[in-house]
A and B are shown apart, each in its own frame.
Chain A
């Protein structure tokens, strides 16, 4: 279930890109066919047919609907809680060869890659705060370390910025880069992921030996390789991606960027922690373990004292919670006792991956009338009134007011398929402009819907309703279940 759901997310983003991609739509038809939700591939580009005059003779209502659909489409993600590899070790391999000076991506592939890489680094550490990232470049048939594996985004960014002064040249070598990546990931602990992400602009790889041997070595050391191509699909890349990710379809591991936006999307997709397949224990040696970590508090001394990590005199710092030695920055390992020291905020940043907010469902006019909520609970903005033209049809709307959105995972008595073909909503847009949280039954506007799912990852209604706190006061272990239930969206006892 997990994998098929995951693939669905992928489909959405692809389709999203197709919507932008007018001229190449036919060429990329193979991507579109088989997704099936919008008909044949060539139809996708005929966007003008979606624009229909409204009752008042303007197209403003349709345009608004399309805007809302665009906002909403991104939201209908799978909200099933999945196991994800949250502690990651990722090596980013940059192609710095001649091919990167092409200008098919503006301004050049090279400059765009550098720019996106900087964004990627920031976003990566935003999403994976306790992960490690390293950067390797390949040019002149060689692999070179640009930035070694570390958890500090600023180091990486400054190293990338140094690349601006250099020119791409020579041929890339996949094998050398992969060997270097493998060596760098050799020490990664078993409970973390080992990933390589290659941004590859060339159509060839000039290697000193047999790259297939390298691929086999990667497979045996459980390193997964994902590739973003910039020019065209290359056979060896496909082999590499499929062999190192046997459980994933190639569409998730090897993609060729169609344009700048697509490139960015592909790159940013890699910032989300990868899902761990459920048969995780036998696969790839990823073992879960319990880590002991310290959450030190920050102190400021009145006079400078030496820190344990650099032996430099500093005033501010963090005291190890086990041995009270002072370190300058977090996350780190205590130099004295070896305890992993981390800010709890680092850990907490990943929780929304683990406890995703469920999708809210669309509200029909019948349901909206029944409930009588007049303003968005989140932002107090008034909802649109029911248009007079629709009042007559209220009976037809009443029967499907329990329509669910796409990806609501469990506890669904109603079959989502039949329900989704109803005329009242298309692309997950609510006809009444209201979206309802199934847990607390509050209505929200589209802006709050997008904001709550993309940024806050909290439901304003669920967090502020009666009884959310009483269920948890003063209980013991059993209380965790309550919390988990809250987060996964079951109604609390």
Chain B
């Protein structure tokens, strides 16, 4: 009957695939990009990335994208940027949107990284694409302008960027689910202590990290926290490892069932992006994703930030140490630890223990 009067036409709205939110974390460590400059300069990488973003947006009209810079010392949104973005300076002065747009235009004509693409032929440029392009480019140049030379360290604040990405995804998912169905709003109140009551995001979020630098051991705990949050929310973390090597990003993609690709030819970044990272969660079920074969599950010790494969773990706080701490007192929680636990097994280990003790005393 309904088929006859055609009313089911109005009920069928949820057939289309859910939009996916792609959050890109771009490692903007200037050191690493400078090293890469002969094969893949940053400008070329961004050009490739923009093509990739456009492809993602073209997939589905309601697809969304967010780009976060994981800079040497801080993490910052590159897109979307609120029109009155002065939270960093915290000086309370209010700029308006026009100012920001003007800023972008100026940078475009200045051409820091911007002169390779998008000159003035905007009439032939799909507007959302252009919007992202201008915003991203102006944000990038602003980011590098505000970077002081002394803050250039070889690290990158990937933990902050991941946390920002997660809070953004969370907010977008909430916004999405409230627009689609208003009743889900009450759910977290009904089941307060249920961690699963976080809505299974109908928005299809995923995180892509373009990583160029290694050495993240300083942020071990925050990174792990974000990994578990992703795992809980079933957000895959895809890693596009352009250069360097990092143990924890491998673990991140493995724990969240993301894709890990270490580029052998950085020059072909666009192809890697398009073939490896473009499919979203729902379409990956039908594809064979490229996965890392072996995963390095080593941990970082708390005392020297070394990556270890055999460690000593405090039974109280689970801190990992690369060797028994001095005086057998845990550096994190201050508990006196008995060292006898592992000495009791084979005689070989007992001898080893004496040696280590001597080493610790010196």
Interface residues in chain A, defined as those with a beta carbon under 8 Å from any beta carbon in chain B: 13, 16, 67, 70-71, 74, 83, 86-87, 119, 123, 126, 130, 191-192, 261, 264-265, 268-269, 276, 281, 287-300, 318, 321-322, 337-339, 343-345, 347-352, 354-355, 369-382, 441-445, 447-448, 450-452, 454-460, 462-470, 472-473, 476-477, 479-481, 483-484, 487
- Give the CA-CA distance A477 to B321 in the complex, in Å: 11
Q: B333 — which chain A residues lie within 8 A by C-beta?
A: 83, 354
Judge whether B341 is part of the interface by a CB distance below 8 angstroms: yes
Pick out which of these stretches binds chain A: B54-62, B136-144, B296-304. Answer: B296-304
Please give me the 5 A-B residue pairs with the lowest Cβ-Cβ distance, nearest first: A464-B160, A372-B92, A378-B167, A344-B299, A464-B75
What are 24 inter-chain pairs, A to B, with CB distance below 8 A? A70-B189, A288-B335, A289-B339, A290-B313, A296-B309, A299-B294, A345-B255, A349-B224, A351-B224, A351-B318, A355-B221, A371-B92, A374-B94, A375-B85, A375-B87, A447-B171, A452-B163, A455-B170, A458-B163, A464-B76, A464-B164, A469-B218, A473-B155, A479-B305
Report the minimal beta-carbon distance from A438 to chain B, rounded to whole angstroms: 15
The CA-CA distance from A462 to B75 in the complex, in Å, is: 10
Q: Which of B192-200, B267-275, B277-285 contacts A (4 or more CB under 8 A)?
A: B192-200
Asked whether B317 lies within 8 Å of A468 as measured between CB atoms, the reply is no
Judge if B37 is at the interface, Cβ distance under 8 Å: no
Q: Nearest A residue to B85 by beta-carbon distance?
A: A375
B181-224: which residues lie under 8 A (CB-CB) from chain A?
185, 188-196, 198, 218-222, 224
A345 neighbours in B (Cβ, 8 Å): 224, 227-228, 251, 255, 297
Please determine whether A13 and B167 come into contact, CB atoms closer than 8 angstroms: no
B195-A123 in contact (CB<8A): yes
B312 touches A293 (CB 8 A): yes
Contact with A along B61-97 (1 / 0, CB 8 A): 0000000000011111100111011110011111000
Please tell me if the beta carbons of A466 and B73 are within 8 angstroms of each other in the complex: yes
Q: Which residues of A contact B167 (CB under 8 A)?
A: 376, 378-379, 444, 448, 451-452, 456, 460
Identify which of A71, A292, A295, A445 contacts B297 (C-beta below 8 A). Answer: A295
Which residue of chain A has the shortest Cβ distance to B68 in the bound complex? A464
When the two chains form their complex, are residues A298 and B87 in contact, meaning their CB atoms are under 8 A apart?
no
Is B171 a contact of A448 with CB atoms below 8 Å?
yes
Question: A289 and B338: CB pair below 8 A?
Answer: yes
Residues of B within 8 A of A381 (CB): 171
Task: Indicate if B332 sits at the interface (CB-CB under 8 A).
Answer: yes
Residue in A343, A347, A379, A454 whose beta carbon sits within 8 Å of that of B313 in the complex: A347
Give a binary string over B314-345; 1 marks a CB under 8 Å from any A CB, 0 the rest. 11111011001010101111011111111001
The DSSP consensus for interface residues of chain A is mixed
Closest to A87 in B: B315
Question: Which residues of B sit under 8 angstroms from A472, Cβ to Cβ?
Answer: 218, 305
Chain A contacts of B305 at CB under 8 A? 472, 479
| Interfacial chain B residues near A344, Cβ < 8 Å | 251, 297-299, 320
Complex Cα spacing A442 to B75, Å: 13
Picked from B91, B157, B294, B339, the residue with its CB within 8 Å of the CB of A298 is: B294
- A290 with B310, Cβ < 8 A, contacts A300-B293, A378-B164 known: no
Q: Are B315 and A288 in contact, with the CB atoms below 8 A?
A: yes
The distance in angstroms between the C-alpha atoms of A281 and B312, with both chains bound, is: 21
Across chains A and B, the number of contacting residue pairs, with CB separation under 8 Å, is 308
Is B194 within 8 A of A264, CB to CB? Answer: yes
In whole angstroms, what is the CA distance A454 to B92 when docked?
31
A492 to B116, CA, bound (A): 42
Question: Of the candidates A74, A87, A339, A444, which one forms a contact with B310 in the assembled complex, judged by CB atoms under 8 Å apart?
Answer: A339
Contact residue among A299, A350, A373, A464 (Cβ-Cβ distance under 8 Å from B318): A350
Assess whether A261 is in contact with B255, with CB atoms less than 8 Å apart. Answer: no
Q: Does B295 sit within 8 A of A, measured CB to CB?
A: yes
B310 touches A322 (CB 8 A): yes
Q: What residue of chain A has the Cβ atom nearest to residue B80's Cβ? A: A380
B229 within 8 A of partner (CB): yes
Residues on B lying within 8 angstroms of A by beta carbon are 72-77, 80-82, 84-87, 90-94, 151, 153, 155, 157, 159-161, 163-164, 166-168, 170-172, 174, 185, 188-196, 198, 218-222, 224-229, 232-233, 251, 254-255, 293-299, 302-305, 308-318, 320-321, 324, 326, 328, 330-333, 335-342, 345-346
CB-based contact A348/B299 at 8 Å? yes
Residue ID in chain B nearest A482 by CB atoms = B218
Q: Judging by beta carbons under 8 Å apart, are B331 and A480 in contact? A: yes
Whether A295 contacts B308 in the complex (CB less than 8 A), given A16-B192, A379-B168, comes out as yes
Known: A297-B295, A373-B90, A374-B86. A456 touches B221 (CB 8 A): no
B302 in contact with A480 (CB, 8 Å): yes
Q: Report the separation of the CA atoms of residues A372 and B94 in the bound assembly, to the nearest whole angstrom.
A: 9
B302's contact among A281, A292, A483, by CB below 8 Å, is which? Answer: A483
Instruction: Assess whether A291 is in contact with B341, with CB atoms less than 8 Å apart.
Output: yes
How many angstroms between the C-alpha atoms of A265 and B190 in the bound complex?
11
Given contacts A290-B341, A292-B342, contact A451 B222 (CB under 8 A): no
B281 → chain A, closest Cβ, in Å?
A: 19
**Complex CA–CA separation, A349 to B94 (angstroms):** 42
Q: A86 with B316: in contact, given A291-B341, A348-B224, A379-B167 (CB under 8 Å)?
A: yes
Given contacts A291-B313, A354-B333, contact A466 B170 (CB under 8 A): no
Contact B225 A457 (CB under 8 A): yes
Given A298-B295, A345-B224, A464-B76, list of 7 further CB < 8 A pairs? Answer: A119-B194, A288-B316, A288-B330, A289-B341, A296-B309, A448-B170, A466-B151
Interface centre among A16, A126, A483, by most chain B C-beta atoms within 10 angstroms, is A483
Q: Which B residues touch A455, using CB under 8 A?
A: 166, 170, 195, 198, 229, 232-233
B residues near A465, Cβ cutoff 8 Å: 73-74, 160
